Amino acid sequence: MFKRLPGDEARNLVTTTPDTAVVFQPAVVRTPALITLVIYLYRFLVALVRTFWQHPVATTVPAVLGLTWYQYGWPLAVSLLGTITLSLAAWAFIGRPSFARLVGWRLLAWWRLMSVYRRHWQSVMDVSGLGRRVHGRHYLPRIVRVQCDDWADRITVRMLRGQAVKDWSDRIDNLAHGFGVTSCRVALVKGGRLLLIFPRHDPLASPIPALPVPDEPTVGPVEIGKQEDGRPLRLKVHGTHVLIAGATGAGKGSFLWDTIRGLLPAMRAGLAEVWALDPKLMELSFGRELFQGRYAADPADCADLLDEAVSVMQKRATRFAGLQRSHVPTVDDPFVLVLVDEVAFLTAYQPDRQLRQRISAALATLVTQGRSVGVGVMAALQDPRKEVMNIRNLFPDKIALRLDESEQVDMALGDGARDRGALADHISPIPEQGAGVAYMRLETSPEPIRVRTAYVSDTDIRAMVTQFGEAA
């Protein structure tokens, strides 16, 4: 009935004092001092080797200078230090990209590791609940590597056994504030390891002017802005469908007009057509001359235009059957992109029930069968709820601009997107700071990426109409 516990045997268990707790003192095993010293020496050597391996530049230079001082005195060490400093300065001035890649970012990574992450690692892990204490022993996730580039720190972490990525994604706010940054992203590298991304500054804080119209006609990924890491943002429109969700003033029109701008040479060459549905009469009507008569604003006209797109799709499918599985744009069979601004007005808020059902059926047919025959759909809406857009899961690529509620992020981008760092509800409502900023979740990758589109002004649209209106 009673289990014998280790430790000194308790005596005088019988007491007349009420509520007296019986305390069993655990046995204490004293480790010999020699074994303790050996353990600490082993840990020191392992840490030293790991530091040299991960940060060769930051450790080799001080080691060489110290050895020179010891062997030949301080004057030669100072001279060597001056030579190294001048050489690095000349390298940084002449070959800045190679210096940053081979020296600069590695030195910054070592400094950030020592001054920020290793210094605060245990306290942040304990407070956020990612560290564990089991049977009196403290377990912490381990930092494997720190990498830096011009905008963010990337930390590879070995998780504790039994932890999941969700344990970390649920604590991105704790991690961000614990290390003094504004946001944190979590991505799985492989089993047991994940990547933490801590942006040091926001490269998307300033608006991007309209990009130049491409010189060559193409329906391939069109450049429409910039990614958070500084690389150009190229949006795939041929062979996919794109759903854009964002509150009023978030910048949905930037995605539409940047896409049109990137397709203008292909439209002039006859390799692409843009069919525009503009029930609000405010966004796409500004450049209706570009659409070669394929423009509709009245709901009935929008339904007719969608039915025509379905007819084109079905005729192509009949001709392509048994001959080809993917579409190659030609003058006879150009890529057709159907743009729908504020699609919810046609699918959810349309009072005419028969018209609403007709439009919904046409859109569902296009997004399920159109991309293999060169008919794509790009739809924009404000409210991503299922009852507003019941076919949102049929769009392979999804974009979320500023949203009003955190729950809407997963509605727009899919389950788990916000936990992975897609904080679309935190995008600034100030147009200069947040208009056009969005999170994209592509069919090819479950990880959301933060981007900003270029701003196409009214003047830019007028210039597009003047240059390409008649030719298109």
Beta bridge partners of 449: 440
Domains of the chain and CATH, by start = 118-199 (3.30.980.40), 222-467 (3.40.50.300)
Percent of the chain past pLDDT 70, that is, above it, reads 92
Q: Mean pLDDT across the stretch 180-186? A: 87
Under 8 Å between Cβ of 252 and 341: yes
Q: Six-digit token pair at 61? A: 């230079």
d(CA 284, CA 396): 24
* Cα 427 off chain centre by: 14
d(CA 315, CA 307): 12
Residue 5 scores a pLDDT above 60: no
| Per-residue pLDDT tens digits for 42-68 | 988 888 887 777 667 667 778 888 888
The pTM score is: 0.77
Q: Which residues are annotated as a binding site for ATP?
A: 246-253
Sheet strands (E) in 248-374: 272-277, 295-296, 335-340
The least confident of 7-16, 345-354, 432-441 is 7-16
Backbone φ, ψ for residue 97 (5° rounding)? -60, -45
Tokens 């649209």 locate to 461
| Per-residue pLDDT tens digits for 53-107 | 766 766 777 888 888 888 888 888 888 888 888 887 888 888 888 888 888 888 8
Q: Which residues are annotated as a binding site?
A: 246-253
